[in-house]
Amino acid sequence: MSKKIIKRCILFLILVFLIACSWYVWQLKKHVTQTLKWEPLVKTVLEEENMDQYEDLVLAIIFTETKGNSVDVMQSSESKYGEQNKITSEKESITSGVTHLAEAIKYALDNGCDIWTGVQAYNFGTSYVDYVVTHGEKNSLELAQTYSKEVLAPMLGNETGATYHYYEPIALFHNGGKLYQNGGNFFYAELVKRNMKIINILS
């Protein structure tokens, strides 16, 4: 193969890479815009609950859960009703989600854990806080993964450690993109952290 052909191939690959990156950024910007349309409602609910300091965090959770493109924008139906698809309005979703988040964070902080333990507990349930209390009092990806595999998944019927594919960049870099069946999302706190940064950059 001649140097000229090799050069053209390299330029083509660079072009494809740049196009892919541009498309990805455009998608992120679109998702941020969809998320931020709920900012006024988030502010209203947080003011009602005296929790104004969590605005960025709540918006990042909306981005993480639904990109703002669902009636149940914070996916809070299960925490309120114990099952999916019971939420009937965006305000109900945000109010319920904020309440659940506040309880999880308060429980974490009251027990000497960090705020990200509370954020991870938004996905896992507050029993995760009890686990973190006995394992260093600070959330980490490794600790969340262990809890998902050894506690939550078996408790909900997955006693074999069965996994499924999860095509999310953080997961792909960490373990090839895998979550444990019935084990929640042990990447949750890391996703929310990242998505807070994305919203701040692209808003």
Within 8 A by CB and 6+ apart from 184, the residues are: 123, 124, 125, 148, 152
CATH number of the domain where residue 55 is located: 1.10.530.10
Distances (CA, A) of 189 to 13, 44, 49, 149: 34, 24, 23, 16
Per-residue pLDDT of 63-114, as tens digits, reads 999 998 889 999 998 888 888 888 989 999 999 999 999 999 999 999 999 9
Q: How confident is the model at residue 14 (pLDDT cuts 50, 70, 90)?
A: confident
Position 7 pLDDT exceeds 80:
no
- 3, pLDDT greater than 90: no
Confidence (pLDDT) at 37: 94
Percent of the chain with pLDDT over 90: 71
Banded model confidence at residue 8, pLDDT cuts 50, 70, 90: confident
pLDDT at 4 exceeding the cut of 80: no
Distance CA 108, CA 68 (A): 27
Determine the structural domain holding residue 166 and report its residue range: 3-202
AA identity, residue 131: Y
Residue 19 scores a pLDDT above 90: no
pLDDT tens figures, 131-158 = 999 999 999 999 999 999 999 999 999 9
**pLDDT exceeds cutoff 70 at 1:** no
Q: Can you tell me the distance from the alpha carbon of 182 to that of 53, in angstroms, rounded to the nearest whole number?
A: 32
- Provide the number of structural domains found in the chain: 1
Burial letters for 78-95: b for 16+ Cβ neighbours within 10 Å, e otherwise? bbbeeeeeebeebebbbb
- The sign of the CA dihedral 53, 57, 61, 67 is positive
- Which helix (H) or strand (E) element contains residue 73? none
